[in-house]
Structure 1
Amino acid sequence: MIDRRRWLQLTAAAAAAWTARGLVPDAHAEAPKQPQRILILGGTGFIGPHQVRYALSRGHKITLFNRGRRSKEWPGEVEELHGDRNTGDLAALEGREWDVCIDNPTTLPFWVRDAGKVLKGKVGQYVFISTISVYAANDMPGADETAALAAYEGADPMQETQDTLRANLALYGPLKARSEQEVRHWFGDSATVIRPGLIVGPGDETDRFTYWPDRIARGGDVLAPGGGADPVQFIDARDLAEWTIRMAEQRSFGTFNATGPAQALTMRDFLQRTRGALKSDAQLTWVDTAFLQANKVAPWSDLPVWIPADGDSAGFAQRSTARARGRGLTCRPLDATVRDTLAWWNEQPAERRNTRKAGLSVEREKELLALWKKRESAG
């Protein structure tokens, strides 16, 4: 265990290293009462590095468990244990104890089952990063954590693998929901389940949010979906990561929707504020949903972040986050997320930027805008 004096020394050292890298430790959150021994399963993906850096800045002792395939530099001492949850190799965790375990990457129920066998009784809190995709329906605006979950209807959830999931992405929500059940089976009242919405910001490999800052920064005539009134929700990975660490510090248990922003945001607000944050001269051309559907333009993938708020998707981007905000979830200004995401994107190799994974191609956008304007001119 670390005594108070040593903890203060570590906190100061981590904060100094943090600042030297151009990062700023959280200023609004009350300092933790004592350091935590935190085990992070994963830790080198999208949200994990933000968790590690934030936790180090607050004086915690961090252990990572992963396959060791992504080396990282940390602003402080981090213990790294290696294994493979795909093959059930968790031997490195045996005989150890931690105050908190944060499970970032799990989609498959057997990963939780195997972790439970090793860690039950060995951690004081098990934090599982789930998803709002666990819900059975998205038709009710304002639905909270008590809404019904998607049911797994396959033969055996414990036999599902990453390959079967890739072959059938419709399994994602049901498998996450089933994973939540495993968390509660093994860890009971010591479990914290966090259900993020779309996670965005620097380092996002899906390119869904990134499409918009990149497109608007290029200027010109930008195809904007719908009439602008459709709501959108997302959360900066850094806000999610930092709040997760604070939930561990507070020993906050239960289930929480975690997305943002705090106030309702429409697609029009989002794009106009993105344009303002980037000081872009882009012109937004709003194209109605019926036209986009007729031309086989898919929400979320061709035009990311956006899903029409009607019918079965009326509540998709209107999940209640009141419970999480009551436990201290905050969101940084949208302008900061937009600018930081674009700065990160512009640092990527040209090959990466030329093979974007979401959004319309330049050619397809021009084609659609020409068709739309021709239709509008014809009256």
Structure 2
Amino acid sequence: MRSTRRDLLKFGTLAAAAAALPSFASPGAAASAIAKAAKPLNLLILGGTGFTGPFQVNYALARGHKVTLFNRGKRPSPEWPGEVEQLHGDRNTGDLKSLAGRKWDVCIDNPTTLPFWVRDAARVLKGNVGHYMFISTISVYADGSKHGIDENSPLAVYNGKDAMAETQESMRADMENLYGSLKALSEAEVRKHFGERSTIVRPGYIVGPRDETDRFTYWPLRVAQGGEILVPGDGQDPIQIIDGRDLGEWMIRLAEAKAYGIYNAVGPDYTLTTDAMIYGCQAVTASGMQLTHVTPKFVEEQKIELPIWVPRADNPYAGYGTVSNARALAAGMTLRPLATTVQDLLAWFRSLPAERQAKPRAGITREKETELLALWKSRAGA
């Protein structure tokens, strides 16, 4: 089935549970090859041990910054290549005592999905941080079908009773309607309390090593197996992704530059189609394959779970494949080649326990694919 705003939340929740694997959490280049920042910063990172957080931490340390993490301490931390201060608390319960009376140059807010998290953080941090950076999502946009969405496009409107009373449980119960609008209200809280000294970054699908959702990973794994591959649509639907390392490292550079404002963090810097993505995977895996395209109608009728892909027409989320990234590119966002992401992603996935590799969390099984291909061909020949 086609990806939706619901999928972005579901997969984002899985990504937050990513295990810490230091060998893939390191910066894209060796730390010794990364130049030091002109001015070291004192950084507070809310979260920091999920998917993109370790990339931020490692890159920040390589650039010479001082790093403090704030989280619940429920997840093992990687072995950092430098000193990292760890503070504990729980934003669900408003326990932010460990942040009180402290000052930082920049706060990076990674995990927030609820506006009261920003409100409560502001009660402690307002006046004590010079720059507040918030990771949002392209799901904040009201009309996901619009092509060429930019940072000024209208945002989703909250229609519930009390946004500040919403919880993670209530949001998950109605993700389709609440996820984007609550993220939009979280952004509003950021601007309310931190004004012009705030940065809001709106990623789409975040992929690469440490991505526990397997939503993009399905395709490199499937291509590596070779053979006949079921491909949704005609292969020309646009796809936008960003490597988690590119996102995390760019956030640190934005902090260094005091780059305020709103940015869509999507890639690549060219139009990537479904077929181009698949052939890009093949360039890494060198596997023999044959593509069989099936119509969006067939995908919908058979309820085929194929991640990342969204048909470019007659779909309320088609615009999520053509979001404008011009502002982010102008602000120094750099993007690894697709081949690098695929190669490193496969290496990371193959380092996981055998039982984890045996059960990918997105896509369809080979058995189901074979069954669907046979059904498609029988209909085509009828």
Same fold (TM over 0.5): yes
Cα distance in 2, alignment partners of residues 18 and 61 from structure 1: 21
Q: Residue 49 of structure 2 aligns to a residue in which SS? A: coil
Q: Where do 1:1-379 residues align within 5 Å?
A: 24-25=29-30, 31-71=36-76, 72-170=78-176, 171-297=178-304, 302-311=305-314, 312-378=316-382
Using the TM superposition, name which of 105-114 and 69-78 deviates more.
69-78
Between the aligned partners of 1:361 and 1:112, the Cα distance in structure 2 is: 40
Q: Is the 8 A contact 1:18 1:24 kept in 2?
A: no
Q: CA 1:281 to 1:259, structure 2 compared with 1: closer, same or farther past 3 Å?
A: same
CA separation of 1:18 and 1:229: change in aligned 2, threshold 3 A: closer
- One-letter amino acid of the structure 2 residue matched with residue 236 of structure 1: D
Deviations 1:263-315 (A, max 9, x none): 11111111111111111112221112122222222xxxx11110001133332
How many angstroms apart in 2 are the aligned matches of 1:291 and 1:26?
A: 48
TM-score, structure 1 as length reference: 0.91
Distance 2:183 2:278 in 1: 31
Give the Cα–Cα distance (whole angstroms) in 1 for the partners of residues 128 and 144 of structure 2.
37
Task: Kindly provide the CA deviation profile for residues 194-219 of structure 1, in whole angstroms up to 9, marking residues without a partner as x.
Answer: 00010001111111001111111111
Pairwise CA RMSD: 1.9
2:73 aligned partner, one-letter code: G
Indicate conservation of the 8 Å contact 1:304/1:359, yes or no: yes
Question: What's the offset of the Cα at 1:26?
Answer: 7.5
2:16 maps to what in 1? none
SS in 2 for 1:364: helix
Greater alpha carbon shift after TM alignment, 347-356 vs 67-76: 347-356
Between the aligned partners of 1:256 and 1:110, the Cα distance in structure 2 is 23
**Counterpart amino acid of residue 169 in structure 1:** M
Deviation at 1:28, TM superposition (A): 9.7
The CA deviation string for residues 311-332 of structure 1, in whole angstroms up to 9 with x for no partner, is 3333221000100100001100
**Contact residue 213 and residue 342 of structure 1 kept, 8 A:** yes
Find the aligned partners of 1:58 and 1:75 in 2 and give their Cα distance.
12
Q: How far off is 1:376 after superposition?
A: 2.4
Which structure 1 segments of 5+ residues have no match?
1-16
Gaps of 5+ in 2: 1-21
Distance 1:242 1:29 in 2: 11
Classify 1:318/1:358 alpha carbon distance in 2 versus 1 (closer, same or farther; 3 Å): same
Q: Tell me the distance in 2 between the aligned counterparts of 1:117 and 1:313.
A: 36
Query: Which of the two has higher C-alpha Rg?
Result: 1
Shift of 1:251: 0.3
SS of 2:352's equivalent in the other structure is coil
Q: Count residues in correspondence.
A: 357
Would the aligned equivalents of 1:18 and 1:75 in 2 still touch at CA under 8 Å? no
1:156-187 deviation per Cα after TM superposition (whole angstroms, max 9, x unaligned): 11111111122221211111011001111110
- Segment of structure 1 superposing worse, 29-38 or 95-104: 29-38
Residue type of the partner of 2:327?
A: R
Instruction: Give, in whole Å, the separation in 1 of the partners of 2:67 and 2:142.
Output: 36
Segments ≥4 residues shifted beyond 3 Å: 25-31
Q: Which moved more, 1:283-292 or 1:74-83?
A: 283-292
Contact 2:36–2:62 at 8 Å: present in 1 too? Answer: no
Higher RCO (CA < 8 A, seq sep 6+) = 2
Q: Distance in 2 between matches of 1:28 and 1:147?
A: 39
Percentage of matched positions with identical amino acids: 56
Shift of 1:22: 9.2
Distance in 1, matches of 2:173 and 2:236, equals: 34
Output the CA distance in 2 between the equivalents of 1:220 and 1:89.
53
Structure 1 CA distance for aligned equivalents of residues 35 and 266 of structure 2? 22
Give the counterpart letter for 1:349 in structure 2: P
